[in-house]
Amino acid sequence: MQEQQENERKLKELRDLAAFSFFMMNALFVLVIFLLQLSRDVLFFEWPFGARVNITIVDNTVCTLYTN
């Protein structure tokens, strides 16, 4: 009986640790993506395959430019 209670306690601790780890990793992922989007002007790379069409979206307008 004592061993079963100990196993139940350990399983609950494992469940809580797994849930906590899952949510913390998701929160860290969201934070990293948010920070990368904030610095997208500095952190970028040239697309290696070449662009067939250049699409430019102008901020604060409804204007979208398409060039070949």
What are the residue ranges spanned by the domains of the chain?
2-67
pLDDT, position 9: 97
* pLDDT, tens only, 2-45: 999 999 999 999 999 999 999 999 999 999 999 988 888 887 77
Instruction: Give residue 4's pLDDT.
Output: 95
d(CA 39, CA 29): 16
Query: Does pTM surpass 0.75?
Result: no
pLDDT tens digits, 49-61: 776 777 777 777 7
| Phi, psi angle pair for 33, to nearest 5° | -65, -40
Q: Answer whether 15's CB lies under 8 Å from 27's CB.
A: no
Distance CA 57, CA 68 (A): 15
User: By the 8 A CB rule, do 30 and 43 touch?
Assistant: no
